[in-house]
Amino acid sequence: MYNAERHITSVIESILSQDYQGEKEVIIVNDGSTDRSRDMIREFEAEGKIRVLDQPNQGAVLATNAGFKAARYTIICSVDSDVILHQDWLRKIIEELDDPAVGAVQGYYKTPSKISFWARMMGYDVEKRYDDISGKYVTQVCTGDTAYRRSALERTGLFDPAFVYGYDNDMSYRLQKAGYKLVFKRDALCDHYWKADYLSYVKQQYRSAYGRMQLIAKHKDKITGDSVSGLRMVLQAPLTLLSLMLVLIATGSSALGITSKLPLLLGLLVLGVLLIDRFVFTLAVLRKQKDLSVALLPLVHLIRNLVWSWALVVWVGRRLKNQS
């Protein structure tokens, strides 16, 4: 929990109201919140419904690790402070962990209706990628609504603090290398209240893209992505960057009196392929969501791709600097 006053009460209530009949505990890691979050959970704490760990602000990775270290049971669930679980979420998740070969199980993020445009676009995007997953076994689960087997974490170690974003992917890859299966439980539902405004969206996309570069550097076999963000997603940034570079080359050549139109045509061709792909993606989202604002999704993804491209440039620049 970090500055989560908008949803934290509903998040805790959704956890406490789970219809799972087994023993459970609820641990809130307060990562140095400066808003009203800490005060809002004091009543739950006073009634003994939750245990609170307070720490200075250190980021999501160390906060998650602190909670996992404090947990007492053999299954540890990670729930973000903007994720509201449906009542049967835990019961359905636990069913999959009857198989000792399963190391982690994630539920399905649903997009609430009464959220901002940018939050809906983010949610619809993720839902579409979830819907494209075939079967229940996946190669990536995220920390937002996932249950982990403690014994699996004891073999792999906790989350890597070198990551700001992508630490859940890193954990997923390590679990699989240790021999565990990951399950996507599509009927274990929760509502995810994504960041609400344009600036938050841009920041999240930049960090996500930068984290992806870190992941590829550490797990080179994942250069084509995973079950949630596959090759179709991974190629968005480099192809956008290639298109921009070709257009810039064409502009520079024209200024120097070079009349070849090949760079410009290639740049426009690459951009056209990207736009066609995004329109196809958008049509599928529109069919499901029945929300006319989805028509703007290609524009949103164009902005996202530019942000991802910038993250790629920054990451490559830092790598080259560190190697020199």
Q: Which two tokens stand for residue 55?
A: 């720490």
Q: What is the pLDDT of residue 215?
A: 95
Q: Which domains are seen in the chain, by residue range? A: 8-222 (3.90.550.10), 235-323 (no CATH)
Q: pLDDT 10s per residue in the chain (324 long)?
A: 999 999 999 999 999 999 999 999 999 999 999 999 999 999 999 999 999 999 999 999 999 999 999 999 999 999 999 999 999 999 999 999 999 999 999 999 999 988 999 999 999 999 999 999 999 999 999 999 999 999 999 999 999 999 989 999 999 999 999 999 999 999 999 999 998 799 999 999 999 999 999 999 999 999 999 999 999 999 999 999 999 999 888 887 766 666 678 888 999 999 999 999 999 999 999 999 999 999 999 999 999 999 999 999 999 999 999 887
Task: Report the candidate in 67, 53, 70, 73 with the shortest Cα–Cα distance to residue 150.
Answer: 73
Contact 285, 294 (CB under 8 A): yes
Task: Say if residues 69 and 29 touch (Cβ distance below 8 Å).
Answer: no
Question: How many helices (H) and strands (E) are present in the chain, helices listed first?
Answer: 13, 8
Which pTM does this prediction carry? Answer: 0.93
Predicted pLDDT of residue 257: 63
**Rounded Cα–Cα distance for residues 81 and 235 (Å):** 31
Tokens 């994942």 — which residue? Answer: 222
The predicted structure's pLDDT at residue 35: 97
How long is the chain?
A: 324
pLDDT of residue 258: 62
